[in-house]
């Protein structure tokens, strides 16, 4: 019984480090200051953090486009809506960032979309 309890404690942080919208193991952006500021005391990375990762060779992130009409989320936050966009690089506007792993996208996770937010 004690082993089960310890295993549960060890796995709990993993379960809560994921965003609600998880596309093929994408990572969860819990450092989005815009979301934190706009959500205030209601901020919850599990339910408001935007998933991000490598999609078809480019960095992508969850976003709020049409879902703003149906799911209330503070600006900069994401929810269970499955909308996403490719992320903009640091060098030029509207330029996608190449990647081969989800971790390659960590430094770009707070960047703007390099195009429209779509389903």
Mapped onto helix, strand or coil, the DSSP state of residue 116 is: coil
- Condensed to tens digits (0 to 9), the pLDDT of residues 9-63 reads 333 333 344 576 666 788 888 888 888 888 888 888 777 888 899 999 999 998 8
- Condensed to tens digits (0 to 9), the pLDDT of residues 60-111 reads 998 888 877 777 778 778 877 778 899 999 887 778 999 999 999 999 999 9
Where do we find the tokens 């330029």?
A: 95
CA–CA separation, 44 and 65 (whole Å): 20
Q: How far is CA 58 from the centre of its chain?
A: 15
């Amino acid at each position: 019984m004690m082993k089960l309890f310890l295993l549960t404690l060890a796995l709990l942080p993993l379960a809560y480090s994921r965003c609600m919208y998880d596309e093929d193991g994408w990572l969860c952006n819990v450092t989005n200051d815009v979301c934190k500021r706009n959500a205030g005391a209601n901020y919850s990375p599990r339910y408001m953090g935007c998933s991000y990762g490598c999609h078809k060779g480019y960095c992508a992130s969850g976003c709020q486009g049409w879902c703003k009409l149906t799911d209330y989320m503070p600006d900069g936050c994401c929810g269970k809506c499955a909308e996403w966009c490719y992320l903009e690089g640091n060098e030029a506007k509207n330029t996608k960032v190449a990647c081969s792993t989800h971790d390659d996208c960590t430094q770009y996770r707070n960047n703007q979309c390099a195009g429209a937010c779509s389903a």
